[in-house]
Amino acid sequence: MLKEIIEWIKSIAFALVIVFIFNIFFGITTVYNTSMVPTLVEGNMLIITKISKIEFGDVVTFKTDITLTQNDIETLSPIKRLFVSENTTKNLIKRVIGLPGDKIEIRDGKVYVNNLKLEEPYINTVTNGDILIEEIPAGKYFVMGDNRAVSLDSRSDFIGLIDEERIIGKAFFRFWPIFDSRII
């Protein structure tokens, strides 16, 4: 009996170490809105890496100062509701369009990075709002959702450029729904 208890303790300890290591280098996030349609839809679950270098075109999740509303909380699963309150801040998921040092211009519904027009096969809405950023400062990123008509992103004064410290990680694998063939 004692030998069996020791084996159980070893197994539980090993599992906790694996979870701890996973949480240092990786994370899991769920998509809760439509700002990344058609790339990501509500309910998609993603594994993110916390250690990868952020590059142009990456889909990243980051911390904001936006707090959850009661409506936001009601959309969460019962288990996730246990860990949040109306004072909890939201994390957003967007695509990196501009890196530190880049020039960003949006005019006439088109996006230009360093004076080159972007080809964006991942969007299916018009990019609204005219913007000119001569140079993105060091340690900051310009992000936009793929569903430009509804995305709250770097075009907004409320979100603006994203500080590198606020980036949680880069999405690299969609594991739910299981048979979803769209590429991140």
pLDDT tens-digit map of 7-39:
999 999 999 998 888 888 888 888 888 899 999
Out of 64-78, 101-115, 162-176, least confident range: 64-78
pLDDT at 163 over 80: yes
On whether the CB atoms of residues 149 and 34 are closer than 8 A, the answer is no
148: helix, strand or coil: coil
How many Å apart are CA 153 and CA 172, to the nearest integer? 20
66 half-sphere exposure, CB direction, 13 A CA radius: 17
All structural domains of the chain = 2-175 (2.10.109.10)
pLDDT band at 180 (very low <50, low <70, confident <90, very high): low
Q: Is 156 a catalytic residue?
A: no
Q: Is 35 a catalytic residue?
A: yes
Q: Which of 11, 52, 90, 94 is catalytic?
A: 94
Q: What is the pTM of this model?
A: 0.84
Q: Which of 35, 140, 154, 170 is catalytic?
A: 35
